[in-house]
Amino acid sequence: MPSRVLVADDDAPTRALIDLALQEAGYDCVLAADGKAALEQARATRPDLVVLDVGMPFLSGDDVHRELRRDRRTRYIPVVFITAKRTTAETTARFRNGADDFVSKPFDVDELVARIASALRRAAELRSLNPLSGLPGNLSIAHEIDARLADSSEAACLYVDVDHFKDFNDRHGFTRGDRLIGHVAELLSEVVGETSEDTFIGHVGGDDFVVLVPGDRAERLAREIIARFDATIPALYDAEDRARGWVEAPDRRGRTRRIPFVTVSIGVVPLRPDRFTSATEVARAAAEMKEVAKRRSGSGYALDRRRESATSVASPTP
């Protein structure tokens, strides 16, 4: 479905020029000839981005922008300003008020289309970020996997899952559970960041993460993630639990049960274009490998070798 762009400008030739250029670029356009109409159209059509001329009848571009940001239905819509004249103070004020970009008249229409595309891309990426970890979400994960499949890069997908996370949340509460998720995000960033620039870390949601790394380093990274996780995770438990090495908690019948510390299971899948055609297929295989890893006690990883032989399961320790 094409992105919808609202173009608000009181100059008819300018509106027509932008409309034509955006349609040729594959966008769906909504047009408004004044500020009042722009605000009404924005609320009615919920565009993906608004192009605002500063000087318009009834309501100026700045007035429209202010009203958009006040309305919960439109406050996060990206806005690109078009202005015939500008000062540093005016530009700074607009950016502080939430503007995403601006172009000056007379403008190059190709540049305007490029800036619109960039603003839309940034908005999509920000919507995809997980608010808890600050990592890209499913949209970006799928894009990154598809891109690596398309260029046939020697890469691998690591599906990282925290085991016993529900028990941890039930015992310690959501606040400490959020700390655990943040800890995993930081740990992955540290381990992967030390390895190569050609990497990607995404947060599927909950306690599930995806890491894309060079294929020849995948197993070494899986082992390193597991080692650091197991070494650092006791710090998130109470002192008495650390001393025991497990958590004691009553079950539904009031009997004391022993709950192990959280561990991590990783499914490792080489991104082979001759085997996979989409991110969906990769995700399915990675989830299968993660479940294989979970069959063993403690932290571990499973490497998908199905193209070569039967699936193998590996442990972080010999």
Any idea which residue has 């094409």 for tokens? Answer: 2
* Superfamily name and number for 4-128: Response regulator (3.40.50.2300)
pLDDT-based confidence at residue 294 (cuts at 50, 70, 90): very high
Distance CA 181, CA 207 (A): 6
pLDDT-based confidence at residue 309 (cuts at 50, 70, 90): very low
Task: Give phi and psi for 11, each to the nearest 5.
Answer: -95, 115
The model's pTM is: 0.65
User: pLDDT higher for 159 or 143?
Assistant: 159
pLDDT-based confidence at residue 314 (cuts at 50, 70, 90): low
Helix (H) or strand (E) holding 87: none
User: Left (φ > 0), alpha (ψ -120 to 50) or beta: where does 98 sit?
Assistant: left
Nearest to 204 by CA among 274, 123, 121, 290: 290
Distance CA 314, CA 318 (A): 9
Yes or no: domain 138-314 corresponds to CATH 3.20.130.10: no
List Cα–Cα distances, 317 to 60, 86, 104, 203, 246, in angstroms: 66, 63, 61, 26, 20
In the chain, domain spans: 4-128, 138-314
Q: What is the DSSP letter of 236?
A: G
294 contacts 163 by C-beta, under 8 angstroms: yes
Find the angle CA(270)-CA(217)-CA(289) to the nearest 5 degrees.
40
Whether 256 has a pLDDT exceeding 70, the answer reads yes
